[in-house]
Structure 1
Amino acid sequence: MAEAFRRKGARYVGKFDQEEREVIVSLLSQVRELIALDEEPATGDPIRDLLDSLGREPASAREVDARDPALRRLLPQASRDDDALAQDFRALAEHDIRRAKAANLSTAIHALSFEGGSRVELDQRQAQALMIAVGDVRLMLGERLDLRTDEDAERLQEGLDLGRHGTGNDGERQLLAAYYDFLTWMQESLALTLTG
């Protein structure tokens, strides 16, 4: 059973059993795949990679939404009122935003991918990456669960409470809601430890 993160010296320590870690890693991997860039792999030469990236056209907001509505949450428009401004910002920033998100997700996946034991011990960089990556997973799950308002979140919690007492009837939604609830707790635990 999971235990909240605590600070021990310069490390952040929590407990998550193998199954919990596997679920979290699976969700992190799904988000990483969702935001993955369709591009040639980097050559390792920073100048060559930069030049190669310059010819790529950014996806429009409609193209992003058409691939998966959760991308709208992960890669929101910079302006709702000015499509040209939003497109210009997307052209300038989307590639870097995707890479940063993918890097955080990869760091988090690596930190949680180990066999045996339940102790998860992170340095500050790993803890920050995990907190951010879990936030991205929650954004994806929030979209899948149609969470838009505080009232939606309250209804979700009520549904979880009903499900825990055997009266919920939508198994897939209950499972996503349980993941969302668990990751909310996990992210809050990590945030409090990082800032405390």
Structure 2
Amino acid sequence: MEGWTRKNGHLQAELSQQEAAVIRGLVGQIKDMLTARTDEAPKDELAELTGIRTGPATPPEDRVLARLLPDFYRRDPITGETDEEESDAAGAMRSLHEPGLLEAKTGVATLVLETCPAQGGRVKLTGEQADGWLAALNDVRLALGTALDIEEDMPEELPDDDLRREHLGVYQWLTWVQDSLVGALTE
């Protein structure tokens, strides 16, 4: 991949078969994780009648999924809420807002899978589709960064005996792909 370019109002890039496979594979894994979380939502008859969806009240146990679906409520130190009040509020906020977040994240993952050619080749996106790609790539980078324990002060290259070494290269490449797409969007 040489980077994203803007041409005739579209953003485009040429992906090799291997590059497309990496993007599709990682985005597909994120989509599967999000879909599994969606399936954990409690069945609520009132929600089915009113159309108000509810999700789980507790955060995901998996740390990668927890990074993708952070808490919707933070304790306000001024109000002095107790831990029980804080937990109830956090659970209620999560239950109300997580379904929409899951839908949005699953939607952008689906968009990438639909627009990224399985065998490689040209990707041609509208501005709106490019925004979806950016969101999906960001989710992949968050997940991969969490799984690899990537920190700001981490060196560019890891020692040969570090098992994260090869995956760090994928993370760095995805960072470049995302940066290139932002650059093309802002031209």
- Separation of aligned partners in 2, 1:111 and 1:86: 36
Cα 1:105–1:55 change in 2 (3 A) is closer
Cα 1:13–1:50 change in 2 (3 A) is farther
1:186 paired to 2:184: no
CA contact (8 A) 2:117 2:123 kept: no
Q: Among the aligned pairs, what percent are the same residue?
A: 32
Which SS does the other structure have where 1:30 is aligned?
helix
Over 3 Å off, 4+ runs = 49-57
Which SS does the other structure have where 1:77 is aligned?
coil
Residue 138 of structure 2, aligned match among 135, 140, 146 = 135
The residue number in structure 2 matching 1:60 is 58
- Superposition pairs for residues 19-58 of structure 1, below 5 Å? 19-36=18-35, 37-38=38-39, 51=49, 54=52, 56-58=54-56
- Superposition pairs for residues 68-147 of structure 1, below 5 Å? 68-81=62-75, 82-115=86-119, 118-147=121-150
Unaligned 5+ segments in structure 1 are 41-48, 163-167
Which SS does the other structure have where 1:107 is aligned?
helix
1:45-82 Cα shifts (integer Å, max 9, x gaps): xxxx9538657552402xx1x2x211111000023433
Which SS does the other structure have where 1:135 is aligned?
helix
The residue number in structure 2 matching 1:44 is none
- Separation of aligned partners in 2, 1:181 and 1:55: 37
- Separation of aligned partners in 2, 1:79 and 1:59: 12
CA contact (8 A) 1:78 1:85 kept: no
1:5 paired to 2:4: yes
Let me know the Cα RMSD of the aligned residues. 2.4
The residue number in structure 1 matching 2:152 is 150
- Separation of aligned partners in 2, 1:180 and 1:52: 42
Which SS does the other structure have where 1:94 is aligned?
helix
TM-score, length of structure 2 as denominator length: 0.81
CA contact (8 A) 1:11 1:124 kept: yes
Cα 1:55–1:6 change in 2 (3 A) is closer
CA contact (8 A) 2:55 2:94 kept: no
1:129 to partner: Cα distance = 0.8
1:183 to partner: Cα distance = 0.6
Unaligned 5+ segments in structure 2 are 42-46, 76-85
Cα 1:57–1:92 change in 2 (3 A) is closer
Structure whose residues are more often helix by fraction: 1
